[in-house]
Structure 1
Amino acid sequence: MKSFKEDLNVAVFTTRFVIREGEPILYVFHHEEDGAWEFISATQAVCDSDYLIVALAQIIDRDAAILELADLQQGEAAYRSDITGVWQRRKI
């Protein structure tokens, strides 16, 4: 099983839709400029106030399929159509 090189306590970005409303994580971004991770759902209308900062461990606890993306390089993104979908990777 893959594991992240980052510590499980590292802060990552997500949204209230994922954490509070239980929407599935369908998009993952590993930002090139700062190495930050972002885990979001399919909700289109996301504004700054919707974002939350949580520990990476919370994201993995919510959806263990995230471990498949532990080797996602900075400047790459992954998406899937639904919670059971296969992750597709691309450059950002």
Structure 2
Amino acid sequence: MEFPFYDAPNTAAIICCHIIESKSPILYVSHDEDDGMWQFLCGQVHTTDEAKLVSLRWVFDFDHSVGVLADMPCGYYAQRKNRDDSWTIKKQ
């Protein structure tokens, strides 16, 4: 599947340790307004030390469904209830 994001595949993204270590599904995605950083989280409450840096390509390879969010502008977030749900996008 072709990489859909406008950002380079090696762009740093924040992901929670639950996704990396436990293969938890990505349920919340934020495209931060202040710095353009992408965050991919499992929907739980996190502490700073649970955040990990990976490439945007790693996230896409882990879960291709995030590709539909490639055009989501800075200052917006998307969430879903489970891996099979559709994303709901809202302004932060």
TM-score grouping bracket, smaller chain normalisation? over 0.9
Q: Are residues 1:61 and 2:70 paired? A: no
Shift of 1:42: 1.9
Aligned residues: CA RMSD:
1.2
Q: Which runs of 4 or more aligned residues in structure 1 lie more than 6 Å from their structure 2 counterparts after TM superposition?
A: none
Q: Which runs of 5+ in 1 are unaligned?
A: none
Partner of 1:52: 52
Partner of 1:86: 86
Q: Is the 8 A contact 1:2 1:70 kept in 2?
A: no
SS at match of 1:73: coil
SS at match of 1:20: helix
Q: Which runs of 5+ in 2 are unaligned?
A: none
Q: Is the 8 A contact 1:2 1:68 kept in 2?
A: no
Q: Is the 8 A contact 1:2 1:71 kept in 2?
A: no
CA distance in structure 2 between the aligned counterparts of 1:90 and 1:16, rounded to whole angstroms: 24
Q: Is the 8 A contact 1:16 1:51 kept in 2?
A: yes
Q: Give the paired residue count.
A: 91
